[in-house]
């Protein structure tokens, strides 16, 4: 996208933020992340200098499987349950972006969705993914772009960057609306 950026962790407990609808949840998560980062930045002497030229972009995503919102699995057992469920099935990914202009506090955000369809994933592949630690730090418990996972993705309906990475078109739209 051509921007210089720094990655900062919001340091929040995402599990305490609950909403019934996936889009509402991901929007609430990016708001809380932005609030936490802005609060931390304001406590530094650099805030006034950085605020003049800085946009804060927060993003999040969840997966919906059989009507249930799934975030990062909390254990290897939960990761196994998630992946076995996707095997031969389908999941919906809902992602959000929020752009905050630090100087003014103005915010614009939005969300997008995509569907992912899977071929059957063999137990030995599931075991290997879990044992190598590729499952606990991502929504849905599965990195679609991982070489061990990619062969089992049958199709995606929607934008690839909604499922993995930062949704570029949505981010650009939010930036333009915020400016």
- Look at phi and psi of residue 175 and say left if phi exceeds 0, alpha if psi is from -120 to 50, else beta: alpha
Q: At what angle do helices 123-131 and 76-86 cross, to 10 degrees?
A: 150
Rounded CA-CA distance 179/48 in Å is 18
| 112 catalytically annotated | no
**Marked catalytic residue, from 60, 112, 127, 161:** 60
Rounded CA-CA distance 168/174 in Å is 10
Q: Which two tokens stand for residue 122?
A: 């063999």
Return the DSSP state at 151: G
Beta-carbon-side half-sphere exposure of residue 97 (alpha carbons within 13 Å): 24
CA torsion sign, 20 to 25 to 27 to 33?
Answer: positive
Sequence-distant (6+) residues with CB within 8 A of 173 are: 110
Active site residues: 60
């Amino acid at each position: 996208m051509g921007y210089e950026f720094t990655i900062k962790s919001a340091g929040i407990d995402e599990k305490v933020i609950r909403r019934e609808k996936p889009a509402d949840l991901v929007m609430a998560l990016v708001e809380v992340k932005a609030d936490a980062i802005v609060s931390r930045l304001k406590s530094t002497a650099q805030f006034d200098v950085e605020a003049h030229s800085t946009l804060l972009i927060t993003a999040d995503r969840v997966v919906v499987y059989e009507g249930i919102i799934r975030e990062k699995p909390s254990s290897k057992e939960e990761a196994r349950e998630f992946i076995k469920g996707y095997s031969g099935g389908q999941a919906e990914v809902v992602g959000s972006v929020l752009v905050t202009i630090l100087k003014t506090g103005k915010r614009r955000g939005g969300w997008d969705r995509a569907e992912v369809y899977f071929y059957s994933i063999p137990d030995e592949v599931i075991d290997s993914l879990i044992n190598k630690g590729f499952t606990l730090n991502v929504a849905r418990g599965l990195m679609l772009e991982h070489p061990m996972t990619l062969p089992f993705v049958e199709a995606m309906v929607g934008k690839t960057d909604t499922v993995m990475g930062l949704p570029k078109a949505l981010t650009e739209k939010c930036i333009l609306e915020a400016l």
